[in-house]
Amino acid sequence: MIIRDFDTERDKEAVYRIWREVGWLEKGKEAQMDCGLYAGTALVAEVNGEAECLVLSTPGTIRYLEEDLSLDAVTGVTTSYVARKQGLAGRVLARSIATRAKEGMLVSGLGMFDQGYYNQLGFGTGGYEHHLRFDPAQLTVSTKARIPRRLTTKDVETIHEVRLKRMRSHGSCNLLPSAATQADVENSENGFGLGYFDGEAGELTHCFWGSAKGEHGPYSIYLLLFQTPAQFLELMALLKNLGDQVHIVGMHEPANIQIQDLLKQPMKHRRVTQKSELEVGSWSAAYWQMRINDLAGCLAKTHLESKSVRFQLHLTDPIEKFLDTEETWRGTSGDYIVTLGEESEAVRGTDSSLPVLTATVNAFTRMWLGVRPATGLAITDTLSGSPELLATLDKVLRLPSPRPDWDF
């Protein structure tokens, strides 16, 4: 088995076949896959002379409070029918992460098909994301929406630019190449967009992009992009204007906003529509995962508004067993002296006078990001320390919920 870079001429038909076999690609829609294929780097594993496993990665950033850290966004991990359970996906992904880590990507992230698989490579599960379905006619926003402009798939570059500039919060991710937004826009069935061009030079400032279904919906909003609270309210008012015709809109709840605050009689409508095709309500799922690739690099960008804590960290990183022996990047395992506070750092070494925290990189990443506090992770994940140290870590790492706000 050979792991190597994807080669368009040699591998294109083989990787289309992989995606057809896993059900991600319909015949005739190859251009959609190309967006992902060329949005970053692609690695394949070759079996009997053909590419049978494909791992895609796109360069991005993840926000940690006010800082942006480099992100390796893993956008696809697939193995064909003939090569399953040979350890290919694990090894190709480990190689991809190692290469990106050596290039300076501090964090890797992905959307998981299920919990457990990527945990083997050091990934820790993120927090719950809320998905809402509501009747836009029930929105209570008092803002009056002005007449918007239509957006089409030809506006991808413009949409991508405004997506990168959108209002962001802790944990939010940006995928940098516009092909990443193109993949989202082109993959939406009956896609449509509406937006406002209020920029000084007439550029797009706020918009949404979604999928229409039939006359009454459900419509799905995939991108809701705004830079100010007033722009957000105008987009909600615009959705409300569709409410005479469209009965259901589904979307992820934006960070820091509780959509239910803007809905009239949400509980009544939940009861009335229960089990119907037009059911309203909210559902939650924790489906994204992250891992730290460079602890010292991540902590150098960690500035907390709290008192500081210093401890001895014994970190284990399970990715090591998926890496080839000649690979120089071996993950993050080791002993570190860690300081968390306004200025944070991780230095390799030991100091027996310090309290000890023992953790996998999976659990440490979750604690560092603020998915769950140390005391909670000590119950359900692989992280342990004295009750005093865990309680101090809870206080020092009081962070907003991390919200990627970009599905990949």
Contact footprint for ligand COA (CB under 6 A) = 22, 53, 77-79, 84-90, 111-117
Q: Which lies closer to ligand COA via its Cβ, residue 97 or residue 225?
A: 97
Q: Which lies closer to ligand COA via its Cβ, residue 196 or residue 322?
A: 322
Q: Which lies closer to ligand COA via its Cβ, residue 86 or residue 143?
A: 86
**Residues β-bridged to residue 59:** 72
Q: Which lies closer to ligand COA via its Cβ, residue 56 or residue 251?
A: 56
- Under 8 Å between Cβ of 155 and 193: yes
CB of 110 to ligand COA, least distance (A): 6
CB of 311 to ligand COA, least distance (A): 31
Pairing of strands 219-225, 249-252: parallel
CB of 243 to ligand COA, least distance (A): 35
C-alpha 324: how far from chain center: 27
CB of 321 to ligand COA, least distance (A): 12
Torsion of CA 136, 137, 143, 147, to 10 degrees: 80
Q: Which lies closer to ligand COA via its Cβ, residue 87 or residue 243?
A: 87
CB of 81 to ligand COA, least distance (A): 9
CB of 23 to ligand COA, least distance (A): 8
Residue with the CB atom nearest ligand COA in the bound state: 116
**Residues β-bridged to residue 348:** 336
The helix/strand/coil state of 274 is coil
Q: Which lies closer to ligand COA via its Cβ, residue 89 or residue 183?
A: 89
DSSP calls for 60-116: EEEEETTEEEEEEEEEEEEE-GGGTTSSHHHHHHHHHHHHHHHTT--EEEEE-SSTT
The helix/strand/coil state of 137 is helix
Q: Which lies closer to ligand COA via its Cβ, residue 125 or residue 392?
A: 125
What would the two tokens of residue 254 be? 């934006």
CA angle 81/113/377 to nearest 5° reads 140
CA angle 403/187/270 to nearest 5° reads 55
CB of 326 to ligand COA, least distance (A): 20
